[in-house]
């Protein structure tokens, strides 16, 4: 889908506006021009607080509930280790990991504080940071750093889902959890990570509150917040920017880096969630959740544009479900590479649709996201 001159202009204005922060005259001019384009877009009003309440908060509710369930499972397992207990721990991890995939691309609200996103799921990791952190903590004979008052200050590599995945799915993990000299230490580390994830997910949800309290209450009241929402009217722009970023995260971080330039340069070992076998499921979860957000936001568009958004975003979900189960292994075969390249094309089309017709139709600018670089 090609971008119209209007959409290109609108997106450009948004990026100019962000780059011009701190330059009042330029920023004011940009705001004025953006307003002109918004008027031309004849955008139907979409309530950002409604989208937060109806799309985001149910996902945070499930994240918090599943994180608490994982903590309870670890507490039970550490009291009475068993093979069935290991299966339960893995099932809890899988559910929580996919919950996170559904909200990982949201960068506004309580998740922006205290490195919460990185502490929940450090991705992509570099220089085997997670593996080194887990090994170092297992070999430590003291419990001091695993206590809640210290654990959250450790490296993000040790605190979240990637560390838990290694603890549960690395070669020999089942046996090491059940018996042997490391069993107790591995259980203590798993309990510390589970407790940290339960705390983080609770903070994410509690920070939003409800229609009369916390951030959501402020948004419904139209009040700004110096930390989270200096301009509440900019929240829709942030939403569409994060939505575009969702597809970019999948393409850049989960597919292109694994594919490499050719089959000889494929890098299967950096495939996300390869240990737990969730590499495809993670992508499906991201794209499905992004599609739901896109369709929710598109309710402010005319029927033709709504249908265009639904078609391209449903196409992305279909492409994700058609991916091979093991992305890393697929990158090493010609057939698998073709499947991945087909999916990449569908995801890029979905990303393009966020600019036009979605952002253009809503009359909001697309901003930079964390993957755009300098």
Residue carrying the six token digits 């093991």:
326
∠ CA(32), CA(9), CA(241), 5° rounding?
90
Q: Which of 67, 170, 49, 58 is nearest to 103 (CA)?
A: 58
Q: Can you give the pLDDT at residue 371? A: 54
Is residue 270 within 8 Å of residue 330, measured between CB atoms?
no
pLDDT in tens, 193-227: 999 999 999 999 999 999 999 999 999 999 999 99
C-alpha–C-alpha distance, residues 93 and 90, integer Å: 5
Phi, psi of 225 (to 5 degrees): -135, 130
Locate 210 and state its tokens: 């409800």
Q: How many of the other CB atoms lie within 10 Å of CB of 149?
A: 7
Q: Can you give the pLDDT at residue 13? A: 40
Q: How many of the other CB atoms lie within 10 Å of CB of 243?
A: 28
Residue carrying the six token digits 């950096």:
270
Q: In tens digits, what is the pLDDT along the chain, a chain of 374 residues?
A: 333 443 444 443 433 333 333 333 333 333 333 333 343 344 457 999 999 999 999 999 999 999 999 999 999 999 999 999 999 999 999 999 999 999 999 999 999 999 999 999 999 988 899 999 999 999 998 889 999 999 999 999 999 999 999 999 999 999 999 999 999 999 999 999 999 999 999 999 999 999 999 999 999 999 999 999 888 889 999 999 999 999 999 999 999 999 999 999 999 999 999 999 999 999 999 999 999 999 999 999 999 999 999 999 999 999 999 999 999 999 999 999 999 999 999 999 999 999 999 999 999 988 766 555 54
C-alpha–C-alpha distance, residues 284 and 282, integer Å: 5
Which CATH code is given to the segment(s) 48-221? 1.20.1420.20
Give pairs for 309-312: CB < 8 Å, separation 24+: 309/353, 309/357, 309/358, 312/1, 312/349, 312/350, 312/353
C-alpha–C-alpha distance, residues 337 and 264, integer Å: 12
Locate 140 and state its tokens: 């430590």
C-alpha–C-alpha distance, residues 372 and 374, integer Å: 7
C-alpha–C-alpha distance, residues 235 and 243, integer Å: 12
Q: Which of 224, 227, 238 is nearest to 48 (CA)?
A: 238
Q: Which of 370, 373, 322 is nearest to 346 (CA)?
A: 322
Model pTM score: 0.87
Q: Can you give the pLDDT at residue 367? A: 73
Is residue 145 within 8 Å of residue 137, measured between CB atoms?
yes
Q: Can you give the pLDDT at residue 372? A: 58
**Max Cα separation, the chain?**
69
């Amino acid at each position: 889908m090609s971008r119209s001159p209007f959409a290109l202009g609108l997106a450009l204005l948004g990026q100019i506006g962000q780059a011009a922060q701190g330059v009042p005259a330029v920023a004011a001019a940009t705001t004025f021009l953006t307003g002109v384009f918004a008027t031309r877009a004849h955008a139907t009003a979409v309530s950002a607080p409604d989208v937060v309440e109806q799309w985001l908060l149910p996902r945070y509710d499930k994240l918090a509930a599943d994180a608490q369930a994982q903590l309870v499972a670890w507490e039970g397992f550490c009291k009475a280790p068993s093979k069935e207990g290991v299966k339960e721990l893995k099932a809890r991890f899988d559910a929580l990991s996919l919950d996170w995939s559904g909200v990982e691309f949201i960068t506004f609200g309580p998740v922006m504080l205290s490195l919460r996103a990185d502490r929940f799921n450090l991705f992509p990791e570099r220089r085997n940071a997670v593996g080194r952190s887990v090994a170092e903590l297992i070999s430590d004979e003291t419990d001091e750093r695993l206590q809640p008052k210290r654990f959250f200050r450790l490296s993000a590599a040790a605190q979240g889902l990637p560390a838990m995945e290694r603890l549960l799915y690395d070669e020999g993990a089942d046996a090491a959890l059940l018996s042997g000299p490391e069993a107790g230490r591995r259980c203590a580390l798993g309990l510390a990570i589970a407790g940290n994830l339960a705390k983080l997910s609770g903070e994410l949800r509690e920070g939003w509150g409800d229609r009369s309290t916390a951030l959501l209450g402020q948004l419904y009241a139209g009040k700004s917040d110096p930390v989270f929402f200096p301009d509440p009217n900019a929240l829709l722009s942030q939403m569409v920017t994060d939505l575009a970023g969702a597809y970019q995260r999948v393409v850049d971080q989960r597919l292109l880096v694994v594919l490499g330039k050719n089959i000889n340069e494929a890098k299967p070992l950096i495939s996300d969630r390869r240990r737990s076998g969730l590499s495809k499921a993670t992508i499906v979860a991201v794209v499905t959740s992004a599609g739901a957000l896109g369709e929710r936001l598109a309710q402010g568009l005319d029927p033709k544009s709504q249908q265009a958004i639904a078609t391209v975003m449903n196409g992305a979900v279909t492409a994700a479900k058609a991916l091979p189960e093991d992305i890393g292994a697929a990158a090493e075969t010609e057939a698998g590479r073709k499947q991945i390249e087909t999916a990449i094309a569908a995801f890029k089309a979905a990303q393009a649709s966020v600019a036009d017709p979605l952002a253009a139709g809503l009359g909001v600018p697309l901003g930079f996201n964390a993957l755009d670089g300098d």
